[in-house]
Amino acid sequence: MDLYKENFDPVFRGEEPDKTVIDQRERIKKCDIIVLIAPIWNFRMPAILEGWIDKVLAPPFAFTFKKLWGNYGYPIGNLKDKKAVIFCTYGSPRLAITTFFLNLPIRRLKRGVFHICGIRDIKYRRYFAVPFVTPEERVEFLQDVKQTAQSL
């Protein structure tokens, strides 16, 4: 699904899921693999995709909480039968992301989104310093995307 073409509204105002969100969830129920393709801007995905995560992969659809005591609990994922593939481009070189910023985007997406939803089979493909690569390196990136997609 192309969130831009579908004119997805990423702003969550506390409302109940609308027809669009319910449709997105129905698509997830029918699929085997959730594929995200996005650039990383300021260590996050674009707002439209962040909003999609907030609205679509929300409780009680994607996960619920098992109460331990008081207001404390832990998430129980409802999407355990799904896989995820994430393709991300970065403007920064690998060293900056993995060393100085401790892989924040990958950790956040894997642990803070997909693991909570119960998805453990996750492929994460990253392409660094994209604005600065040679045409040959860009072809290598695209070949990796193709090979990853064919391996699913």
Q: How far apart are CA 86 and CA 148, in angstroms?
A: 10
Its domain, for residue 107, covers 19-150
Residue 102: the pLDDT is: 64
Residue 3: the pLDDT is: 94
The answer to whether residue 2 sits within a structural domain is no
The answer to whether residue 26 sits within a structural domain is yes
Question: pTM (2 decimals)?
Answer: 0.88
Residue 41: the pLDDT is: 85
The answer to whether residue 49 sits within a structural domain is yes
Dump the DSSP string for 78-119: S-TT-EEEEEEE-SS-HHIIIIISTTHHHHHHIIIIIITTT-
The answer to whether residue 35 sits within a structural domain is yes
The answer to whether residue 104 sits within a structural domain is yes
Q: What angle in degrees, to the nearest 10, is found between the helix axes of 47-56 and 19-30?
A: 80
Residue 103: the pLDDT is: 64
The answer to whether residue 134 sits within a structural domain is yes
Residue 71: the pLDDT is: 87
Q: How far is CA 138 from the centre of its chain?
A: 22
The answer to whether residue 120 sits within a structural domain is yes
Q: In a 3-state reduction of DSSP, which class is residue 72?
A: strand
Number of domains in the chain: 1
The CA-based angle 145-88-25, given to 5 degrees, is 95
Q: How far apart are CA 45 and CA 37, in angstroms?
A: 9
CATH number of the domain where residue 86 is located: 3.40.50.360
Give, for all 152 residues of the chain, the pLDDT tens digit. 899 999 999 999 989 999 999 999 999 999 999 999 999 988 788 999 999 999 999 999 999 999 999 888 899 999 999 999 999 999 888 877 777 766 677 888 998 999 999 999 999 999 999 999 999 999 999 999 999 999 98
Q: How far apart are CA 60 and CA 5, in angstroms?
A: 27
- Residue 139, amino acid: V
Residue 104: the pLDDT is: 74
3-state SS, 14-29, equals CCCCCHHHHHHHHHHH
Task: Quote the longest CA-to-CA distance of the chain.
Answer: 57
The answer to whether residue 46 sits within a structural domain is yes
